[in-house]
Amino acid sequence: MTPLLNGLMITLLFLSGVYLVAVLERWSLTGHVIWGGPIRSFLLLFAREEIKTRKHDKVFFETAPILFIGVILLTISILPFGRDSVIINLGTGALFINAALVYVMVALMMIGWATNGVYAMVGGWRALAQLIAYSMPVVMVLTATVMRAESMFLIDIVESQQSLWNILFQPVGFILFYISALAITFLPPFDLPVAKGELAGGVWADLTGARKLLFRLGRLTLVLTLSVAVVVLYLGGWMGPWLPEFVWTFLKTLVVAASFFAIGRFMPRIRHDHLLEFNWKYGVPLALYNIFQVGVVLLL
């Protein structure tokens, strides 16, 4: 297959992936699968009048949506969909995932501050609290996957799982990364920054029109990105029989994304102090144990 055709296929798959994630999100909220739903809400938000809050912070108000979607696109660009299908093959790929996704929180905090509203501001600070909870475990479990591959190239991390996928090799790390991925995407059990019902939409409470559209689209892309990250780091990436490589990545990604939404549908929202307590009292020690276990197994 020529590189151009390959690139086109990946773009198409990714776009349809975002669409399917949008359908899944709607299902997780309403319990119905509505195929036309995403298009309808896209047109609605696109055409809607943009109402700005009084005395909003102009610079942050314009920067935050672009920063939000920009860092997510940067993260996608380093994730491999196949052995040769990666846009930028970074020598520090595993670290870069975390570095870029920190700025998701920065964008949320920025927009929370910029809108000059109470709900938005509380939502923004909650995004920070959530990051403080998950950032340590997520770096430590990434380190454990790097230890096994002896490389920070994401392609090497996938190839290190040739004999045994990381989900079986380091199950503790997988569980911690999975929970952290849910928290990074602020999906339902961890949707503190945008909590419906208690914060009336949180950081998005005062946004309308195109800005809200950018954030919604960004979040859907973020869900897909984190699903790809779970697949690459723990589920053997593109590995699988018969089908082409990127098809396997795509199928696994959709299964992970569906599981994200399924958990969100059946779990109550967690309180931020409980989240912090869990991650610092149990998450960090478990992540350290995971590094220890992986290290011992590798040396034996």
Q: Which of 19, 27, 42, 103 binds another protein (CB under 8 A)?
A: 103
Alpha-carbon torsion angle 167, 172, 177, 183, nearest 10: 130
DSSP state of 201: T
d(CA 159, CA 156): 5
CA 210, chain centre distance (Å): 22
Q: Is 291 in the site for another protein (CB under 8 A)?
A: no
Q: Provide the minimum distance between the beta carbon of 247 and another protein in the complex, in angstroms, as a whole number.
A: 29
Judged on CB neighbours under 10 Å (0-12, 13-18, 19+), 2 is exposed
Q: Is 132 in the site for another protein (CB under 8 A)?
A: yes
Q: Provide the minimum distance between the beta carbon of 211 and another protein in the complex, in angstroms, as a whole number.
A: 18
Question: Nearer to another protein by C-beta: 61 or 250?
Answer: 61
For the chain, helix, strand, coil in percent to 5 are 75, 0, 25
Whether the CB-CB separation of 95 and 142 falls below 8 Å is answered with yes
Q: Provide the minimum distance between the beta carbon of 131 and another protein in the complex, in angstroms, as a whole number.
A: 7
* Residue 83 three-state SS: coil
The pair of structure tokens assigned to 214 is 């950018």
Q: Provide the minimum distance between the beta carbon of 135 and another protein in the complex, in angstroms, as a whole number.
A: 6
Question: Nearer to another protein by C-beta: 20 or 109?
Answer: 109
Q: Which stretch binds another protein (CB under 8 A): 94-102, 207-215, 239-247, 261-269?
A: 94-102
Q: Could you give the string, one character per residue 231-270, with x where binding to another protein holds by CB under 8 A and - elsewhere?
A: ----------------------------------------
- N- to C-terminal Cα distance for the chain? 41
Nearest to 172 by CA among 293, 269, 278, 55: 293
Q: Provide the minimum distance between the beta carbon of 72 and another protein in the complex, in angstroms, as a whole number.
A: 14
Q: Is 143 in the site for another protein (CB under 8 A)?
A: no
CA 44, chain centre distance (Å): 25
Q: Which of 99, 164, 168, 267 binds another protein (CB under 8 A)?
A: 99
Q: Which of 14, 61, 81, 96 binds another protein (CB under 8 A)?
A: 96
Q: Is 147 in the site for another protein (CB under 8 A)?
A: no
Q: Is 18 in the site for another protein (CB under 8 A)?
A: no
Q: Is 159 in the site for another protein (CB under 8 A)?
A: no
Look at phi and psi of residue 130 and say left if phi exceeds 0, alpha if psi is from -120 to 50, else beta: alpha
Name the residues that contact another protein, by CB under 8 A.
Answer: 57, 59-60, 90-92, 95-96, 98-99, 102-103, 105-106, 109-110, 113, 125, 128, 131-132, 135, 151-153
